[in-house]
Amino acid sequence: MFDPYEIRKDFPILERVINGRKLIYFDNAATTHKPLPVIEAIREFYIKYNANIHRGLHTLSQEASEKYEKAHETVAKFINAYSWDEIIFCSNTTDALNIVAYAWGLNNLREGDEVVLTVMDHHSSMLPWRNIAKFKKIKIKYVDITNDGYLKYSDFEKLITERTRVVAFPIMSNVLGTINDVKRIVKLAHEVGAIVVADGAQSVPHMPTNVRDLGIDFLAFSGHKMLGPTGIGVLWGKRELLEEMMPFKVGGDTIKDVTLDDVIWHDVPWRFEAGTPNIAGAIGLEAAIKYLQKIGLQNIRNHEKQLVEHTFKLFKEELGDEVTIYGPRNPNDRGGVISFNIKGLNHHIVGRALDSLFGIAVRTGMHCAHPLHYRLGLKGTVRASYYLYNTREEVEELVNALKFIVKQKENIEAIFKKDIEGIICPTG
């Protein structure tokens, strides 16, 4: 049975005391904590078989290479890829999405082609294509959202044309929590021969993912958002697309042979994993996936849905009109991300107060989604994001803290106003 209280025993950091209060960590959309099995897997690598991969016949190199390649297989099975060699390890979701834009986009897009994005996109999904547009003179189009935080599917129908070559979007919004109708978008894109690039940073860690069933062409996600270490990410792509792509980062391990006149590129995925990779990161990611599989992704999804329902109920009962929540109100249509604002208080002040007075970690700002906030008419939000180790009691502590902040608005603003003066947060 799923038991968050037992799960928490695997996360020593959750025992930390912050400003006199036991840590409540609600910043999981930014990064997640690491369970002991992940930490131990990384430790074991450095203690027992630390060596470079694919570069030696000695025992340590062979062991490291085997573990690294096995991690590709584990990731492939986790998302139901067709084959392990469709898995490319990179540094994070941003890196993965840039690989698609530069390795596929530069070689396949022509002047006059169109790329359809959404105002809901994380900057990492949006900006690579905007950069490519400068080189290739392509047109970028944007799908809008409804006032309650859903994508306007009628916009997809209008904007996707015979000129559309790429449709990119998040499976789940990192601000609104909206879970998008992937298959509906895929159908529209494939009808005109466009490829579909899905940002899975917020979805893959929280719900079952089956790339074959979804029908997408590329999927990007990060290890650190799913209990794994930082510095490791995944790009999955259909083999036929990967085979035709030219690597845009080249060097060690990307080639079969090089002469002064020619180069023969390595097979996929190695041609896209230039230089010494994050070997420990891949091993840690594999351990994280095994941990998640043991818990069950559907169990995690159900748990987060219950936390969202509990949050909505308490916000309505205890905070009323003092707090505005953004995004869909139906917990079935959203993940465990709650972005909100307190009436009359700057979002950064709320975040500082939650940390300083209650030991509650949330994120404040525009969450690397400036266009979405501008579309909502906002300069920022407070974001609480849940994961498998969060509990109903922690949600209740958050609500109690917000009630205190609401009652002490003037004092809270006076105390923390200086903390946010001149604050510079380029990523929002």
**What does the pLDDT read at residue 328?**
98
- For residue 66, the Cα-to-chain-centroid distance in whole angstroms is 27
Which bin fits 359, alpha (ψ -120 to 50), beta or left (φ > 0)?
left
Which residue has tokens 């020593």? 12
Which DSSP string do the residues of 236-269 spell out, in sequence order?
A: EE-HHHHHHPPPSS-STTSEEEE-SS-EEEPPTT
The catalytic residues are 368
Flag whether the pTM goes above 0.95: yes
Spatial separation of the C-alpha atoms in residues 34 and 44, rounded to whole Å: 15
Predicted local confidence at residue 383, as pLDDT: 98
Cis-peptide, bond into residue 269, ω within 30° of zero:
yes
Give the closest residue to 97 by CA, choosing from 134, 72, 122: 122
List, run by run, the mean pLDDT of 10-residue segments along the chain (428 residues): 96 97 98 98 98 94 97 98 98 98 97 98 98 95 97 98 98 98 98 98 98 98 98 98 93 94 95 96 98 98 98 98 98 98 97 97 98 98 98 98 98 91 64
Tens of pLDDT along 72-88?
999 999 999 999 999 99
Q: What is the 3-state secondary structure (H, E, C) of 37-71?
A: HHHHHHHHHHHHCCCCCCCCCCHHHHHHHHHHHHH
DSSP-derived pairing of the beta strands 17-18 and 21-22: antiparallel
Q: What's the pLDDT score for residue 424? A: 59
Q: Which long-range contacts (CB under 8 A, 24 or more apart) does 419-425 make?
A: 419/348, 419/349, 419/352, 420/346, 420/348, 420/349, 420/352, 423/348, 425/365
* The pLDDT of residue 426: 56
Give all domains of the chain, ordered by start, each with its CATH number.
Answer: 4-27+296-420 (3.90.1150.10), 49-294 (3.40.640.10)
State the greatest distance between any 2 C-alpha atoms of the chain, in Å, as a whole number: 73
- Residue 427's pLDDT is what? 59
Contacts of 411 (CB under 8 A, 6+ apart): none
